[in-house]
Chains A and B, each alone.
Chain A
Amino acid sequence: MEHEIFMLNRIEFLLHLADNALIIGHRNSEWCAHGPALEQDIAISNIALDYIGQARNFYQHAAFLINELPHESSVFSIPATEDTLAYLRDASAFKNHLMTELPNGDWAFTTLRIFFFSSYQYFLYQQLIQHEDAQIAAIAEKSLKEVTYHLRWSSDWVIRLGDGTTESYQRMNTAINALWPYTQELFQENNFLQPTKNILAQIQTDWNEKIKNIFEEAGLHLPEKSVQYQGGTKGFHTEHLPIILTEMQLLQRVYPNCEW
């Protein structure tokens, strides 16, 4: 029984990692063919694909563990696959951070979100490389190279826009005020985060330091005080997530098991 709870927690943790990557990946993919310049369109589409790739790896591993569970205890439909996990779960079952599901806004909002989120992933994956589950460790190691690039690319944009024209500075400031209320959720403890609980504080310290350094270079300032939202990891989402899922899951919901 204890082992089952342990495994369920691990599965939830994997779904959380996968959902985060899938949803922010989907948001970034919405830029495809709408980027501000051809080259940046390709860059953000590449980043979107990196995220979807990470999501697939985590879902595949989660599906494997789900299928290993004793049947009577499983709260998941079996057999699980990466597709059933991505396409056949409802919004309340998704465990992504709220930050990832917010609409794209403008280029400043989009790049700042990638900056906040990839900084978080950068420090998280560095810890996950030492995870006792060898599969999680391997996915983290593979993904870290991608994340390192996302972080460099997005830092570059935060600095460019913050230290750019009056308008770009204003847009970046607007983005900071809009996104900051969703940043502290990244470091919220949660049952299924058990294995990472004691490292969250360290990740937060490293994250704060990173944000501070880039903001200094960009001539930007952290908001003094701000309301903080949370609930995503528990399945309490903004109204934006169901809209994403409606679009993303439409085909599988209307034509179950269809292939194309």
Chain B
Amino acid sequence: MSTHSNSKIEWPLWEIFVRSKQGLDHKHVGSLHAADAAMAIENARDVYTRRMEGISIWAVESKNIHASNPDEAGSLYDPANDKAYRHPTFYDLPDEVKYM
């Protein structure tokens, strides 16, 4: 197949999210190439869930993901640095409350 490459057009890139078990969130596990959404999910099944990692797969075409700009990290995140009052750390938790 590879010798005949009039198909120089690459398959689009997809981001893959896998839910490892019921009740948990889908987590980003990586990306892969596929011709369409159906193939992306099939490929994800083979690439990312072959060792029982998941029970549900999401595929999102990478071009549809919009990312924050690293150059703006300063203005985006630094102002949160000195605002300790935003963290709920000023309460005493009763011992009965677990998993907080």
* Chain A residue at smallest Cβ distance from B43: A39
Q: Counting CB contacts under 8 A, is B6 at the interface?
A: yes
Q: Which of A36, A156, A165 contacts B42 (CB 8 A)?
A: A156
Q: Which of B1, B2, B38, B46 contacts A39 (CB 8 A)?
A: B46
Chain A residues bordering chain B, tally (CB within 8 A): 17
Contact A156 B39 (CB under 8 A): yes
Contact B47 A167 (CB under 8 A): no
Contact A42 B6 (CB under 8 A): no
Among A37, A40, A152, which residue has the most Cβ atoms of chain B within 10 A?
A37
A252 to B4, CA, bound (A): 38
In the complex, chain B residues 22-42 whose Cβ is within 8 Å of any chain A Cβ: 32-35, 38-39, 42
* Chain A residue at smallest Cβ distance from B40: A39
* Chain A residue at smallest Cβ distance from B34: A39
* Chain A residue at smallest Cβ distance from B42: A153
The A contact surface, by secondary structure, is helix
Q: Which of B4, B6, B7, B46 contacts A46 (CB 8 A)?
A: B46
Q: Counting CB contacts under 8 A, is A216 at the interface?
A: no
A36 to B43, CA, bound (A): 13
Contact B33 A36 (CB under 8 A): no
Q: Counting CB contacts under 8 A, is A160 at the interface?
A: yes
Q: Counting CB contacts under 8 A, is A38 at the interface?
A: yes
Q: Counting CB contacts under 8 A, is A7 at the interface?
A: no
Q: Counting CB contacts under 8 A, is A138 at the interface?
A: no
Contact A42 B47 (CB under 8 A): yes
Per-position binary interface string of chain B over residues 2-13, scored 1 when its CB falls under 8 Å from any chain A CB and 0 otherwise: 101011000100
Q: Which of A38, A149, A152 contacts B33 (CB 8 A)?
A: A38
Contact A42 B46 (CB under 8 A): yes
Per-position binary interface string of chain A over residues 136-156, scored 1 when its CB falls under 8 Å from any chain B CB and 0 otherwise: 000000000000010011001
* Chain B residue at smallest Cβ distance from A165: B7
Contact B33 A37 (CB under 8 A): yes
Q: Counting CB contacts under 8 A, is B50 at the interface?
A: yes
Question: Which residues of chain A are near B33, meaning CB under 8 Å?
Answer: 37-39
Among B11, B35, B43, which residue has the most Cβ atoms of chain A within 10 A?
B43
A152 to B42, CA, bound (A): 9
A40 to B11, CA, bound (A): 12
Per-position binary interface string of chain A over residues 151-187, scored 1 when its CB falls under 8 Å from any chain B CB and 0 otherwise: 0110010001000010100000000000000000000
Top 5 nearest A-B pairs (CB, nearest first) are A39-B43, A43-B46, A36-B1, A107-B1, A42-B46
Given known contacts A42-B50, A46-B50, A153-B42, what 4 new A-B pairs fall within 8 Å (CB)? Answer: A36-B1, A39-B33, A43-B43, A160-B35
Q: List 29 A-B contacts (CB under 8 A).
A: A36-B1, A36-B2, A37-B11, A37-B33, A38-B32, A38-B33, A39-B33, A39-B34, A39-B46, A39-B47, A40-B43, A42-B46, A42-B47, A42-B50, A43-B42, A43-B43, A43-B46, A46-B46, A46-B50, A106-B1, A107-B1, A149-B45, A153-B42, A156-B38, A156-B42, A160-B35, A165-B7, A167-B4, A167-B6
